[in-house]
Amino acid sequence: MDRRNHTRQAARRLTAWRREPGIWIALLGLVILSGALVYWATTQRNVVPLGPPRAVQTINPKIGVHTRLTDEVEAWKIKRTFEMVREMGAPWAVEYFPWAYVEDQRGRYEWTHTDMVIDHAERQGIELIARVGFVPGWARPPETTPLYLDEEHFADFGHYAALFAERYAGRINYMIIWNEPNLALEWGYEPVDPAKYVAMLQVVYPMIKEANPQMQVLAGALAPTLAPPGSPDGMNDLAYLQAMYDLGAADYFDILAIHAYGWYSDPDEPADPAVVNWRRVELLREIMVANGDEHKTAMITEGGWNDHPRWTRAVRPGQRIAYTLRAYEIAQTEWPWMESVNLWAFRYPWDAKSYQDYSTFVRTDFEPKPSYEEVRRYSQGQLAQEPAP
């Protein structure tokens, strides 16, 4: 008896609900509103105010750094990074924008992180040089690394680069095409092949220019190496650059990107084809001039010194500071064709726990290293006593 009454009451309630659809609509609206509030609260946790527009104050407008915000997910850390870059007196920064992070599935784009990085850099008055590369899984064969790109997907890569150039037109004016293609490690563990790299430039460069004619395309970004002919690991950067010219690359880039590591040498050590040092840059410039590209400029997009206590290619901390300041000064006073010098690396999102941690200017927790403080003083004209080597 009780069960039959319960059933009848339930039926009557169901009939009442059906007669008043407004109740259903109201409940549905509450569910949607609740979901929207949860989504808003979740996303707002990683949003920080941009703050007022700022400008970099410096006596050397060529000072730059290579930031590493690709895997930095917290907005306040991205903002703080660019604040500290500005306070150091660096108007330039190279930042990596991997293709696979934006278009992990073909035709589906996620620009949120890229937008956030560019917004904060712009607000702090930093001119970003965008480095692009890193191939998504759908654009490469199975069992290959994200640094492998075959001819079949050159146009797909070009499409991403062109979309990037168009989306950030007027905000991003420089783009590096690939990184260190003269190393097998950075070329998908394939044999180093300047012809293939030039073929990629010939596809990608026109696509970028069509999307944004003002974008300045940087090519090269070659690793300084003394690899002998036929080495499975890489190709001498001087030989690679000449091969690029021989293959017709001159019409497919606007600026040469250069990697310049001093290793254990003084930045004033003379250039020598048999030595990797800071002034090896001058040998690359000679190749540009010899091939009729003296009208083009260059940028150092990676480089500097390391002060690890046990790494064989490192220098002492005092030497690193002195060499860094001198490197910026050489570019300012001796290399009119050099637009910017972006040293590796400003800060890592987490400790590498290797010699690489000794290349940074700022620790993971944003504590400035002495190299940061001395560059800041130099950029403000507050020349401190020369650090002891």
pLDDT of amino acid 82: 98
CA–CA dist 203, 197 (Å, integer): 10
Nearest to 95 by CA among 134, 125, 121: 121
Q: What are phi and psi of 236, to 5 degrees?
A: -45, 130
CA–CA dist 116, 81 (Å, integer): 12
Q: Are 328 and 378 in contact (CB under 8 A)?
A: yes
pLDDT of amino acid 36: 42
- Intervals of CATH 3.20.20.80 along the chain: 56-379
Alpha helices in the chain (DSSP H): 2-19, 21-44, 75-88, 99-102, 112-123, 154-167, 194-211, 237-246, 280-290, 317-333, 370-379
- Summarised one tens digit per residue, pLDDT across range 12-28 is 554 444 455 554 444 44
Per-residue pLDDT of the chain (389 residues; tens, 9 = 90+): 454 554 455 445 544 444 555 544 444 444 444 444 334 434 456 789 999 999 999 999 999 999 999 999 999 999 999 999 999 999 999 999 999 999 999 999 999 999 999 999 999 999 999 999 999 999 999 999 999 999 999 999 999 999 999 999 999 999 999 999 999 999 999 999 999 999 999 999 999 999 999 999 999 999 999 999 999 999 999 999 999 999 999 999 999 999 999 999 999 999 999 999 999 999 999 999 999 999 999 999 999 999 999 999 999 999 999 999 999 999 999 999 999 999 999 999 999 999 999 999 999 999 999 999 999 999 999 975 444 44
pLDDT of amino acid 5: 52
Nearest to 305 by CA among 293, 323, 290, 328: 323
CA–CA dist 382, 376 (Å, integer): 8
Which of 3.20.20.80, 3.40.50.300, 1.25.40.10, 3.40.630.30 is the CATH number of 56-379? 3.20.20.80
CA-CA distances (angstroms) from residue 97 to 116, 210, 381?
12, 20, 33
Region of residue 223 (left: phi > 0; alpha: psi -120 to 50; beta: else): beta
pTM beyond cutoff 0.85 = yes
CA-CA distances (angstroms) from residue 218 to 138, 156, 252, 284, 333?
26, 19, 9, 14, 23
pLDDT of amino acid 46: 77
What single string gives the DSSP state of each residue in 325-383? HHHHHHHHHT-TTEEEEEEE-S--SS---SGGGGG-SB-TT-PBPHHHHHHHHHHTT--
Nearest to 86 by CA among 58, 59, 60, 66: 58
- Summarised one tens digit per residue, pLDDT across range 314-359 is 999 999 999 999 999 999 999 999 999 999 999 999 999 999 999 9
CA–CA dist 301, 70 (Å, integer): 16
